[in-house]
Structure 1
């Protein structure tokens, strides 16, 4: 596949994963319903798909709560020209966040650490994002000059709004547009996303949408309202492309998602497309 016609300088994939299950088990993968990703995925697998699609740089994102996984991702990034940044994991709920970030930066590839993420979507505590210790941990991430990725479900958006507003010095990225309920009623999600987008210190990834739709029967039209609303609220200058590979393989292929998103962005002009495909990710993650 040729590079996307409106991204002649190349695409930045701001969200993908890599894992080796022997070194870092992925207990969240169900071998029956998620058989398509019940395998190992390495940097060579990524390059075989990304480079022919016109992707010239990527950001790899943690998948489990493990600092050793982050150390390995940094080491992989150190050996890769394609991987420009790593969004890793540290325990933001305990003291010493700054020290742990310092140790990660001292590891091979540590210069490619661009952000931290916590799987807040899986937290059983509905007040998790409102806790003082979590806010303090994220403040330490910001003090270290790193971005904090928000991976949440749509019902957690009100708490995320409070969090982002309480830390104006921090830079946040909302993963997967906050996981809109594409098979249900979008009105609540849409209202909360509009409120969140009014805060200047948060951007969002147009990623992970195919797996919020029906995996086997989704159509581009099912995703169009969410993408359109994101454009209307955040604007292209605060949106970035992400593949969410290999998770996207549950519903579509890497290059197919690029093609579909290109169709959904058909009304954008060249400057707007350049922002979404690469410039926002470069600016926000400083890659």
Structure 2
């Protein structure tokens, strides 16, 4: 694939790093639409995790792609490591937008955000605040911290204790989001925060492709997730329940399009036959509106 390494600063001075994929067949002067991509929180997704597959299809369809690691993750800077703040990620998307404007290969009037799971919610949040963006593709988006709050409520006392230890300068144990074993994923794993059998195939793809992954997060990340409510800015899967997703779609302004993958789970759209079905919808959407 044709790509080059990139880096750009955020407004608060953190350097984010990733790849730029120029539109395939693009001339030296011709500018192309651009899609800005970053991953969600599943197994602490990095730019190497399935995003090149999406970028390849977008490139072939005539779009440039910026794919980068969120702050605190992967090749990007930021502290504390392994901490996710989706509101901050939404703000960082505007910095990625500004960087896209600086690229001679990019048509600054035709830039879209692509996000999945937690980053799908961040993309909706970012687009609601920054109207320079032309379109958003939100794949199985996380849209409501309120819906997961009851699940994590029993953990709150221990989380507050961890935060007190962190403020006292003590080392705080990270939390395990998911199991890393495909077979263990089919059973309840008491050491993992989230158990979902649908992740088994996803994990197998990770192992088959030798993807690096680190399924741990800081305790603060859970607070950030519960407090994140992109549904409020929008004007069935187990990890991001379908009802608030459909409610977010209903509240969103036109133009919009809804694509449903029947009988599929949260982790299926990234690989295999479901990826082939899934990629058709954003390509059609971009062709129509970007």
TM-score (norm 2): 0.33
Structure richer in helix, relative to its length: 1
Q: Which has the larger radius of gyration?
A: 2
TM-score (norm 1): 0.34
